[in-house]
């Protein structure tokens, strides 16, 4: 069975490739902002928003690839009861990191597998991250070193690079923080016959 990642996330693709999972990349084409706004108006929880976005992506691609197993994934950041979205530019990233500095936030990563337009499996995990009270000089050096790559993640950091230095404490699964809870997914892929059991 063909396994499809309905995402342009380089981090998710790296994780799957590193685990030697065969996959194709076919990005979903959904209006995430509009869907997120609708879900929030319906008073959905942050976890429900992440799950609904993952499912929408999986369904979108599985309708055009009905014979494939399609993975949709999404990650949201909750800070002080507010759902934060990706930053548009480095100025916004700097402002966000200043807000998060010295404080705790939660990352929720959600996955959905779909076949022929129907969701057949879901999973979500939360991680709690506490940023240290880093200096403005460190923040400037960090943004200069990482550049626009920080804009790929909802929190403007990549834990697998210099972003690790932003934190005082990280509680949660490493792969989940990177956007792809790997072990539960691998277990399901073994059940589906995508990888060897």
Q: Residue 131: inside a domain, yes or no?
A: yes
CATH number at residue 47: 3.90.950.10
Between the alpha carbon of residue 43 and those of residues 40, 75, 82, the distances in Å are: 5, 18, 12
pLDDT in tens, 27-75: 999 999 999 999 999 999 999 999 999 999 999 999 999 999 999 999 9
Q: How far apart are CA 93 and CA 83, in angstroms?
A: 15
pLDDT at residue 58, as a whole number: 98
Q: How far apart are CA 35 and CA 82, in angstroms?
A: 16
> What is the number of alpha carbons within 13 Å of residue 160 lying toward its C-beta?
14
Q: Residue 197: inside a domain, yes or no?
A: no
- Of 73, 51, 74, 71, nearest in space to 61 by CA: 71
* End-to-end Cα spacing for the chain: 15
Q: Residue 128: inside a domain, yes or no?
A: yes
pLDDT in tens, 117-159: 999 999 999 999 999 999 999 999 999 999 999 999 899 998 9
Catalytic residue among 29, 60, 74, 136: 74
Q: Residue 149: inside a domain, yes or no?
A: yes
Q: Residue 25: inside a domain, yes or no?
A: yes
Look over the chain and give the mean of its residue pLDDT values, rounded to a whole number: 96
Structure tokens at 177: 């923080």
Q: Residue 196: inside a domain, yes or no?
A: no
Q: How far apart are CA 124 and CA 49, in angstroms?
A: 11
| Number of domains making up the chain | 1
**Is 152 part of the annotated catalytic residue set?**
no
Which pLDDT band, with edges at 50, 70 and 90, does 1 fall under?
A: confident
Structure tokens at 118: 């129907």
Q: Residue 85: inside a domain, yes or no?
A: yes
Q: Are 123 and 71 in contact (CB under 8 A)?
A: no
Structural domain that includes position 82? 3-191
| DSSP structure string for 164-176 | GGGEEEEES-HHH
Which pLDDT band, with edges at 50, 70 and 90, does 78 fall under?
A: very high
Q: Are 26 and 4 in contact (CB under 8 A)?
A: yes
Decide: helix, strand or coil at residue 195.
Answer: coil
Q: How far apart are CA 52 and CA 46, in angstroms?
A: 10
Q: Residue 121: inside a domain, yes or no?
A: yes
């Amino acid at each position: 069975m063909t396994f499809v990642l309905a995402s342009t996330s380089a981090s998710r693709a790296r994780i799957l490739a590193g685990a030697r999972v065969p996959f194709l990349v076919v990005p979903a084409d959904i209006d995430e902002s509009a869907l997120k706004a609708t879900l929030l108006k319906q008073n959905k929880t942050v976890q429900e928003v992440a799950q609904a976005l993952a499912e929408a992506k999986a369904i979108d691609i599985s309708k055009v690839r009905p014979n494939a197993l399609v993975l949709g994934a999404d990650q949201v950041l909750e800070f002080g009861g507010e759902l934060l979205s990706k930053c548009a530019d480095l100025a916004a990233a700097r402002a966000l990191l200043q807000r998060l500095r010295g404080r705790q936030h939660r990352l929720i990563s959600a996955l959905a597998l779909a076949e022929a337009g129907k969701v057949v499996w879901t999973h979500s995990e939360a991680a709690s991250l506490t940023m240290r009270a880093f200096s403005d000089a460190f923040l400037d050096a960090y943004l200069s070193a990482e550049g626009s790559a920080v804009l790929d993640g909802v929190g403007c950091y990549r834990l697998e690079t210099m972003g690790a230095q932003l934190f005082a404490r990280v509680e949660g699964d490493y792969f989940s923080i990177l956007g792809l809870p790997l072990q539960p997914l691998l277990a399901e892929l073994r059940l589906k016959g995508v990888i060897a059991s």
